[in-house]
Amino acid sequence: MKSMDKIVSLCKRRGFLFQSSEIYGGVQGFWDYGPLGVELKRNLKEAWWQDMIRGHNDLVAPAGAPAPFEMVGLDCTIIMHPQVWKCSGHYDLFHDHMVDCRESKKRYRFDQVRGRWCERGDKKIFVSTLAEVEQELDEVRRRAMKFFKLRAKNADELTISDESLTLDQLDDTESVLAPDAKSLGTLTEPREFNLMFKTTLGALGGEDDTTFLRPETAQGIFVNFKNVLDSSRVKVPFGIGQIGKSFRNEITPRNFTFRSREFEQMEIEFFCPPDQSQAWYRYWRDRRMAWYTELGLSSESLIMREHEPAELAHYSVGTADIEYAFPFLPPGEYGELEGIAHRGDFDLRSHMEGKLNPDSPEGQPMQVELNEHGKPKYRGSGKDLSYRDEATNEKFVPHVVEPSAGADRGVLAFLCEAYTEDEAPDDKGNMQTRTVMKLHPRLAPIKAAVFPLVKKDGMPEVAQEIYGELKQHMNVFYDDKGAVGRRYRRQDEAGTPFCITVDGESLSDKTVTIRDRDSLEQTRVKIDELSFALIERLG
Ligand code: GAP
């Protein structure tokens, strides 16, 4: 049975993930990748870069566009000109609503505090909690019993509604028992909280020198659009990809790495003529979904969810999320892995003319937002970010389709999917439960482990030689400690697809066994042909 507790514990025990600054008690929302985790995450990012950017060669393009179309990369800075965030809309609009509790002095994200209406006699209160959904009802009951000073034998005096609601679904918070409070009505009115981390440029920095750690990698791509066009001779439609850190001061980071304050994104901004944008939107939705299943996420655990109009980000005219059934969610619920947004010309036009007004009349091109003096609220760069099509001589501001994936959420989804408990024979041939991480060979941190069966009779020397040879091609691991069955188990937990064992026969006939992590099959191959055999199996 897959449980988040078991996955988190394996991640720590085997060195996939550690809490940041753990020896000082940790810091919420920040995670470090251990020796296995860093390899897994690099492999995921490299698979993305190879499949989407460097190795991209898709011969099918929609809307009659030439194929393969071009995909190039960028690596931009985390700190950018403060004006970037004003024109992008993040300065004014990138916020969550939070509430503070006057009693506990704690702060919560308004839309994340859940709870239920509880009634005893003629008194009805809303008992809130931050507990996971599975524990919500028990926790609400426990707190309500305490609030009404009820003993277990009088539990039937309490009625708890079936419906779980969030604070933002209530009309007011007067009857709310806050998650860590003893009295009612202790929550403040919801307030906006900008999620960008502030920082100051230079030693003497004043208000004008305040800037932000980027909350998305996308803006670096938009502000370099013209540089890429002029330096690479790419032609619209084409895409620019970037992998890098982003930072968001999340009010309630949680669910392991799912909602972190520092995380990595893998983003593509795909620039196309306006009349092709719907076709490209559909193209990227399908292509990105297929990428996850090709790397091993099961299609039963993935859904594509089209956003409701009210959910759309300020720049978006259409967004679909690829969502995964993370085990920390109740059955039937999914968490976002990647968003594919149709951003129209919002970003390029904002960086050209000044921030566009998301409240512009529907059905018309967005207008630049004006201040109280009727002047642009935030001036754009004034640079011409439009594109002239050489063939038609038509000039337009390209529309953008943005597949935006989280590297850390991707790693988490692949870890959850890979976690498996099955049966395998131990050293004495008895069947035992084993924990195995069934990671796709492209993602597996270690591709093969090399073992001498015993630590004598020349076996370690042969194994070391094989290890040295394989290291030139892939990440391999050498282990000569303990019973061989135990060594297999350790590699199963690390997700290593193949184990190579040097035994007595190896010394005479120059062969070794390759043991397959998933089928447990063992095949003998010649040492001379081992690298080739492994590379072929790894695909
Ligand atoms: N440029 C568009 C953009 O940033 P987003 O939906 O806010 O869109 C894209 O973020 C992806 O980045 C998400 O689908 C998720 O995978 C990842 N992501 C966003 N916030 C995150 C967080 N706090 N922790 C981990 N990953 C996050």
Task: Please write the tens of the pLDDT for every residue from 330-381.
Answer: 889 999 999 999 999 999 999 999 999 988 887 777 899 999 999 999 999 9
Average pLDDT over residues 447-468: 97
> What does the angle CA 471 – CA 243 – CA 34 come to, to the nearest 5 degrees?
50
3-state secondary structure of 197: coil
Residue among 216, 255, 268, 401 whose CB has most ligand 1 atoms within 8 A, to mutate: 216
Q: Which atom of ligand 1 is nearest to the CA of 217?
A: 1
Q: What is the pLDDT of residue 313?
A: 66
pTM over 0.85: yes
Say how many Å lie between the CA of residue 153 and the centre of ligand 1: 48
Domains and CATH numbers, the chain: 39-94+196-414 (3.30.930.10), 97-193 (no CATH), 446-538 (3.40.50.800)
Phi, psi of 211 (to 5 degrees): -135, -170
Q: What is the pLDDT of residue 315?
A: 61
Q: What is the pLDDT of residue 373?
A: 93
Q: How confident is the model at residue 426 (pLDDT cuts 50, 70, 90)?
A: confident
What confidence tens digit (pLDDT) does each residue in 72-90 have?
999 999 999 999 999 999 9
Least confident of 109-113, 442-446, 525-529: 109-113
**Tokens 């149709």, located at residue:** 342
Q: Which atom of ligand 1 is nearest to the CA of 410?
A: 16
**Tokens 């960086």, located at residue:** 351
Q: How confident is the model at residue 252 (pLDDT cuts 50, 70, 90)?
A: confident
Candidates 239, 216, 231; CA nearest to 73 is: 239
Mean pLDDT taken over the chain:
94
Is the Cβ–Cβ distance between 432 and 425 less than 8 Å?
yes
| 191 annotated as ligand-binding | no
Average pLDDT over residues 420-449: 93
Say how many Å lie between the CA of residue 336 and the centre of ligand 1: 8
Q: How confident is the model at residue 314 (pLDDT cuts 50, 70, 90)?
A: low
Instruction: Record the tokens describing residue 439, joined without a space.
Output: 């990671």
Least confident of 57-66, 154-163, 276-285, 318-327: 57-66
Query: Does position 217 have pLDDT exceeding 80, yes or no?
Result: yes
Phi, psi of 493 (to 5 degrees): -70, -25
Average pLDDT over residues 405-414: 98
End-to-end CA distance of the chain, in Å?
A: 29
d(CA 353, CA 80): 18
Q: Which amino acid is at 363?
A: G
d(CA 284, CA 304): 12
Which residue has the least CA distance to atom 12 on ligand 1? 406
Around ligand 1, the residues with Cβ closer than 6 Å are 216, 218, 248, 250, 259-260, 263, 265, 267, 336-339, 402, 404-406, 408-409
In this structure, how many other beta carbons lie within 10 angstroms of the beta carbon of residue 174? 11
d(CA 442, CA 422): 22
Q: What is the pLDDT of residue 311?
A: 76
Q: Which atom of ligand 1 is nearest to the CA of 267?
A: 1
Candidates 86, 82, 408; CA nearest to 244 is: 408
Q: What is the pLDDT of residue 66?
A: 86
Which residue has the least CA distance to atom 10 on ligand 1? 404
Q: What is the pLDDT of residue 370?
A: 93
Say how many Å lie between the CA of residue 314 and the centre of ligand 1: 15
Which residue has the least CA distance to atom 19 on ligand 1? 406
Instruction: Record the tokens describing residue 314, joined without a space.
Output: 């300020």
What confidence tens digit (pLDDT) does each residue in 22-35 have?
999 999 999 999 99
What confidence tens digit (pLDDT) does each residue in 156-173 have?
999 999 999 999 999 888
Residue among 263, 265, 307, 319 whose CB has most ligand 1 atoms within 8 A, to mutate: 265
In this structure, how many other beta carbons lie within 10 angstroms of the beta carbon of residue 213? 18
Q: Which residue would you say has higher pLDDT here, 366 or 473?
A: 473
Q: What is the pLDDT of residue 51?
A: 97
Which residue has the least CA distance to atom 2 on ligand 1? 404
Instruction: Record the tokens describing residue 252, joined without a space.
Output: 């309630």
- Helix (H) / strand (E) element for 11: namely helix 4-13
Average pLDDT over residues 81-109: 94
Say how many Å lie between the CA of residue 265 and the centre of ligand 1: 7
What confidence tens digit (pLDDT) does each residue in 235-246 have?
999 999 999 999
